[in-house]
Chains A and B, each alone.
Chain A
Amino acid sequence: MEFRGYMIDMIRTELEDVVGVEHVSTKKSETTVYGVDYFWISRMWADRGMEPPRADFVVRPDTTEEVSRLMKVANYYKIPVHTWGGGSGSQGGAMPMAGGILLDMKRMNRLVEIDEFSMTITAETGMILQILENYANEKGYSTMHYPSCITCGTIGGSLAHRGIGVLSSKYGKIDDMCLGMEIVLPNGDIINTLPVPKHAAGPDLNQIFIGSEGTLGIMTKATFKIFKMPEVRSHRAFLFSDFGAGVKAGRDIMQEFKPSIMRLYDEPETRSIIKKVIGVDKKGAFMNITCEGKAEVVAIEERIMKEICARYGAEDLGSEWGEKWYENRLTFFYPGHIMDIPQMYGTMDTVCTYDNVEKIYWAMKKAIENNFEGVRFIAHCSHWYEWGTMIYDRFIMDNPPSDPEAAISLHNRIWNTGVRAAMKNGGVINDHHGIGLKLGRLMKEQYGPAMQVFEALKKGLDPNGIMNPYKLGL
């Protein structure tokens, strides 16, 4: 036996001591399936039959204590640790690029508590988001977190990249919904954030770890808000003459009240995706808006919404198309409706203040379509804030290079061009998909000298640099 083989078996034995023999695997089938997530490059790579990046050990912990012990083993041997939830991330954040240990967290999927008085739900982070919602539903409540990955993503995955759901404009992002967490630090220590997220006891620990993409520790339990089911959830659709008029109407609405859903599609998306999925066959910028809550409050909100949309010349399409959009809210992401392999594509997912929305939209569109032949740019605004919105800007190339390495190179160049155009015009690199492997190289450009704060955190918490290497630019 060669020395490497000897050590691998030594390490495996230690891992098995922690979680049990049956929860450590080096089988080819296991390492194969953890080598492909929803990142375009990983899917393209697999589609072309290329060897996926493989972890050396797939490990499935059952408890926080086991995660803690695993971290001590990993640090002793200085083995990389990648955390895996549902594998539904689009940024390659869970990919085991450095080999080593892949921690699949899905055995840790227990409901810890539903507190109906404080209106909170606590669960382990390996739980699939829809299961969390099911548990809340069983008691008559909702988490109001309905991301497109709800049926496959986990709590931990959603927290790791600062995820968002379709109802975000009213209920917030996952970082607004999360009230507290239990975290295992890279050295194996188990810590808890404070019992409430609003306080004056220094910075909010939650917000240091939410979005850290497995680079600073492993979130093992989390507490979220739960909400009463709305008495009314009312959908409506409008058609604006152009994207800019829709942005202005959206901004005005957000100053008056918070609809749960507001989506504004640019003219190309209205003519393509909206026509295909919803069936609206009109020129202009389609916008669907959902108001929800107490019936009498919703009635007032709808009156204000109609007044604002009319002010910007929108055609009121009635409730039918809004309802159809809601029924099909996940259909947009299914094969046949969304871009898919063998196309090359990417969602750049930019967020900015209102004054920069149109500037960024046109700068990105021009940068991508003028520089890359055969690439088109489409966009919509999915999630709205009082101060701005996010632009779900996407590029699509129907005939990418057949050579996989050439395809990666082109993919990266398009991303660089699009994201740099956004940043140059006041946009922020990402709203809710995260950074992962895909955008790590651009983090220093985004943050400038501020990046040293993250680097110091990384150095202090993970001095051996074992936590999810190459992700988040850390």
Chain B
Amino acid sequence: MCRYICPVGLQTGSELNNARAKALLISYAVRGQKFDESFAEAMYQCCLCGACSQDCATGFEPPVFIREARTEAVVNDVVPPNVQNVITSVLDNDNIFGVKAEETSNRLKSLLPDAKEKAEVLIYVGHSALCRAPEIAKAFIALCGKAGIDFTILHDEGQSGAELGDLIGYVEETVDKAKMVVEKINATGAKKVVPLDPNCTRVMRQEYPAWECDLKPEVQTATAFMAELIREGKLRPGKIETGLTTFHDPCKLSRDLDEVNEAREILSAMGIHITEMLLNRKWTKCCGTEILKAHSPNITELTAGGRWDDARRLGIRTMVTACPGCYDVLGEHTPEGMEVKDIFMMLAEACRC
């Protein structure tokens, strides 16, 4: 019943791109049809954004069974080549972007060359911000400095399991990667870890306990962290002028982490009044993900276009988001006369960082 809310199906127009079709293929595979590469390809044409689960009155969770079907694709050796390249990149270098591990480490070092070994707060930058939107990480670090926070970052972050888990499922390889990250984070003695990417926040908060990853610090979303600093008076943003502006709720933040108010609170603190799109908060429409973009950029071009259309119909000029992946995907396909802005970069500007 969830065709109307699937960001991929709505844009590709293909029956294959809805939860019913994927469930049907799995059902046929269970009943003896060969789970071949075409079945596997269908499983990867999905953002795992959870809109279908949000809408499902009967409690089906397509992201769960689609992720499990991806594991099946790996086991049966039928992963499409474009996806296999991305999986290989994560297994070899911990990121989906094909950037060598040594290079990601250098980039982290350049963000905060004198990062302390121990601190109260650990900012977990994540590969989307590091590889696709380092300006977000720079702004966030500048805000932490301005607020006088005792913080640090890792110079080798590893793979949180967010990307690998979505690509091959919650299997041993994914959990092993996550455990290595946990070890590094715990070693900093931080009381709080703040991932910039809601995907990382989600796995740390919701999957690590099930994976028996003993992450010591509390996991806080980047938006909640900054909203708290504003509330405490540690950040005092000035007003920012924008045209007609909306906020695009990142799906992992709003649906999985159940957080919809903090970003709006930050925007309000900057004097920004937002015009809501029809699909907002927990009903947000995914713009596409970095993972989908890494193996099927033709699909994320469509999904980003779908989200821009939602804004354009309301005459909106500026779309603000709070996820480096959304910022990258929307930014790559910004229509003429419109712009995407990252909430932390705006806040840094408002705080004169």
Contacts and interface: CB of A to CB of B under 8 A. Distances in A.
Interface of A: 22, 27-30, 32-34, 36, 46-49, 60, 84, 86-87, 104-109, 111, 126, 128-131, 134-135, 137-138, 149-152, 330-331, 334-336
A111 B1 CA distance: 21
5 contacts: A30-B15, A109-B13, A138-B313, A330-B1, A334-B1
Interface stretch (B26-34, B196-204, B323-331): B26-34
Given A36-B24, A128-B4, A152-B1, A30 B16 contact: yes
A33 to B, nearest CB: 4
A189 B177 CA distance: 59
Contacts of A126: 13
A404 to B, nearest CB: 12
Given A106-B14, A151-B1, A32 B278 contact: no
A32 B33 contact: yes
Contact of B13 (A107, A130, A149, A335): A107
B16 to A, nearest CB: 6
B1 A30 contact: no
Nearest to B59: A336
A26 B317 CA distance: 41
Contacts of A84: 15
A49 B32 contact: yes
Contacts of A29: 16, 25, 36, 38-39, 41-42
Contacts of B171: none
B80 to A, nearest CB: 11
Nearest to A52: B28
Contact of A106 (B2, B5, B15): B15
A107 B16 CA distance: 13
Contacts of A150: 4
Interface string B276-295: 00110000000000000000
A32 B35 CA distance: 12
B313 A32 contact: no
A335 B36 contact: no
A32 B21 CA distance: 9
Contact of A134 (B3, B31, B41, B278): B278
Contacts of A151: 1-5, 55
Contacts of B230: none
A46 B38 contact: no
Nearest to B31: A49
Nearest to B18: A152
Contacts of B279: 134
B91 interface: no
A268 B118 CA distance: 70
A28 B58 contact: no
Q: Most B CB atoms within 10 A — which of A150, A331, A335?
A: A335
A32 B28 contact: yes
A334 B16 CA distance: 21
A33 B16 contact: yes
B14 A60 contact: yes
A279 to B, nearest CB: 16
A129 B10 CA distance: 12
B57 interface: yes
A137 B10 contact: no
Contact of B10 (A32, A47, A105, A109): A109
Interface string B257-286: 000000000000000000000110000000
Contact of A28 (B12, B38, B57, B314): B38
A152 B57 contact: no
A22 B32 CA distance: 28
Q: Most A CB atoms within 10 A — which of B13, B33, B58, B313?
A: B13
Contacts of A138: 278, 313-314
A104 B14 contact: yes
Q: Most A CB atoms within 10 A — which of B2, B20, B28, B31?
A: B28
Given A28-B36, A138-B313, A108 B13 contact: yes
Contacts of B57: 330-331, 334
Contacts of A135: 313
Nearest to A149: B1
Contacts of A131: 4, 10
B324 to A, nearest CB: 28
Contacts of B12: 107
A46 B28 contact: yes
Given A46-B24, A49-B32, A134-B279, 4 more contacts: A109-B13, A111-B313, A134-B4, A151-B5
A33 B39 contact: no
A20 to B, nearest CB: 11
Contacts of B5: 151
Contacts of B16: 29-30, 33
A152 B28 contact: no
A27 B18 CA distance: 16
